[in-house]
Structure 1
Amino acid sequence: MPDLTDIDRIVGGIRYLVLATADADGTPWATPVFFAPLGRDGVCWVSSADARHSRNIAKRTSVAITVFDSTVAIGHAEAAYFEADAAALPAGETGQALEALNARLPEPKRMTADDLLPVGPLTVYRATLRRRYLLVRGGNQEFRNVLDMTVEV
């Protein structure tokens, strides 16, 4: 049975997620972002507050997230999906997120507080994960599914 260790493995090994947001009218938008996990309950990233997905989050905090490796051969995909609530972190609460992001960045790309508003151009965002799902590929003996499906973990 899929469990949280499967999600931990996928999230821990991938550097980009697809973030799906919607504006105040419900018009969807999806974008890839470099991210880092924050324990089992969250992920973080930095973006411009003016980016479309950031403006959407300011209006509607509910987001969907997919983490997957797009380089694997057809039939070998693994993916984790999340329903989450996202928000910009207040200036005094960015330390853990910057540490997590910097652990995934090469030394010359690492960020400091000076990269964040009001000095720099970036804002730190955190998504708090509410529901978690895993991709189960078609032909799984346990689920006896012919086609790919998702299961909640």
Structure 2
Amino acid sequence: MAEQDLGAIARAIIDGNLYMTLATADGDGRPWASPVFYAAAEHTQFYWVSAPEATHSQNLAQRPEVSIVIFDSRVPAGTGQAVYMSATAEHLTGDDLEWGSTLYPGAAERGGRVFTPEQLRAPALYRLYRATVSQHSILCPRISGPCHEHGHAFDHRTPVSL
């Protein structure tokens, strides 16, 4: 399958969903996964709002490296596809907070709550975060049986460029 087609699959998944699974780890490497409502910019930057006391927010303060998965859980078994991403996340302040708050929560029809920058600064309850993706991949879209392109007989990821 052409790289352009794989990129189109990834973009459609990102554009068609509201929640991503954010995987963080604490300073000792203990994993933690959290579903978060997101807004995406150029399919490479993902914004979400969380309390700084939330476990995933505390983990990001210790270890900014994250993994992200976006998928549609409503499709029939065996037909699912997902976008897997490696990223670095950060709590936004200053100009980044000002800019990010213009992007989050995305288009009004997505239904997310709008926040002003003042509502995302201490001592407010929430903060704005951004993950910048360094790598995207999807499941290799083979129909069935072994993958002739990659030589695998099992589900495996293939990198995509967006």
**TM-score scaled by length of structure 2:** 0.83
1:28 aligns with 2:26: no
Which residue type is aligned with residue 24 of structure 1? G
Gaps of 5+ in 1: none
Secondary structure at 1:17 match in 2 = strand
C-alpha separation between the residues in 1 aligned to 2:142 and 2:112? 42
Please, what is the CA RMSD of the aligned residues? 2.3
Which residue type is aligned with residue 7 of structure 2? L
C-alpha separation between the residues in 1 aligned to 2:94 and 2:134? 24
Q: Superposed, which structure 2 residues align to 1:73-88 within 5 Å? A: 73-88=76-91
Q: Are the counterparts in 2 of residues 10 and 80 from structure 1 also a CA contact under 8 Å?
A: yes
Q: Which residue of 1 aligns with 2:53?
A: 50
Q: How much does 1:138 deviate?
A: 5.2
1:131 aligns with 2:154: no
C-alpha separation between the residues in 1 aligned to 2:144 and 2:40? 28
Equivalences, count: 153
Task: Name which of 95, 105, 109 aligns with 2:113.
Answer: 109
Q: How much does 1:101 deviate?
A: 2.3
Secondary structure at 1:139 match in 2 = coil
Q: Which residue of 1 aligns with 2:157?
A: 150
The one-character-per-residue Cα deviations of 1:74-103 (angstroms, maximum 9, x if unpaired) are 122110000110010113322332233233
Moved more, 126-135 or 95-104: 95-104
Secondary structure at 2:104 match in 1 = helix
Over the matched positions of the two proteins, sequence identity in percent amounts to: 31
Q: Are the counterparts in 1 of residues 86 and 135 from structure 2 also a CA contact under 8 Å?
A: yes
1:92 aligns with 2:95: yes
Q: Which residue of 1 aligns with 2:126?
A: 122
Which residue type is aligned with residue 154 of structure 2? L
C-alpha separation between the residues in 2 aligned to 1:140 and 1:129? 30
Q: Are the counterparts in 2 of residues 45 and 125 from structure 1 also a CA contact under 8 Å?
A: yes
C-alpha separation between the residues in 1 aligned to 2:58 and 2:87? 16
**TM-score scaled by length of structure 1:** 0.87
